[in-house]
Structure 1
Amino acid sequence: MNRPEREAAARRIMERVPPPVPPDLYADVVRRGSRLLRRRRAARRLMWLLLCAGAVAFLVWAMAARPWVEPPSQTTPPYSGW
């Protein structure tokens, strides 16, 4: 099928009358769409909750472990008794 034949076939398809839509389809689409939005909203809230919980856990660990403080040197024992 060459280009003019494809274009003619596409025009024939687009010029057809669209099939009738069932009347109860709108209610089903609205119901499914609102359910999808609720699921996305719940997933987004869960992800934010996990992110905040991770940040709090990291802050608690950082305050307890203090990874930015250099550990004391253990190579030389303390010398006392001068």
Structure 2
Amino acid sequence: MNRREREAAVRRLMEQAAKPVPPELYDEVVRRGTRVLRRRRLARWLLWLVLCAAVVAFTVWAARTQPWVEPPSRTTPPLTGW
């Protein structure tokens, strides 16, 4: 099928009358679309909740362990009683 034949086939398809959409299909599409939007909103909310919980957990861990502080040296004994 060359380009002219494809264009002619597309023109024939475009010139045909559109088939009517069943009226009950609209209600089904709206119901499914609403459900999809609700699930996406719930998933987004849960992801934000998990992200906030992770930030809080990291902040608490960092405040308790203080990873930025250098640990004390353990190679020499303490000098006491001089």
TM-score between both structures, scaled by the size of structure 1? 0.95
Aligned to 2:60: 60
Q: Tell me the distance in 1 between the aligned counterparts of 2:50 and 2:11.
A: 52
The share of aligned pairs that are identical, in percent, is 68
Over the aligned positions, Cα root-mean-square deviation in angstroms equals: 0.8
Q: Distance in 1 between matches of 2:81 and 2:62?
A: 37
* Moved >3 Å (runs of 4+): none
Name the aligned partner's letter for residue 32 of structure 2: R
Structure 1 unaligned spans of 5+: none
Q: Which residue of 2 aligns with 1:19?
A: 19
Match of residue 72 from structure 2: 72
Q: Distance in 2 between matches of 1:18 and 1:64?
A: 68
- TM-score, with normalisation over the residues of structure 2? 0.95
Count of aligned pairs between the two proteins: 82
Q: Which runs of 5+ in 2 are unaligned?
A: none
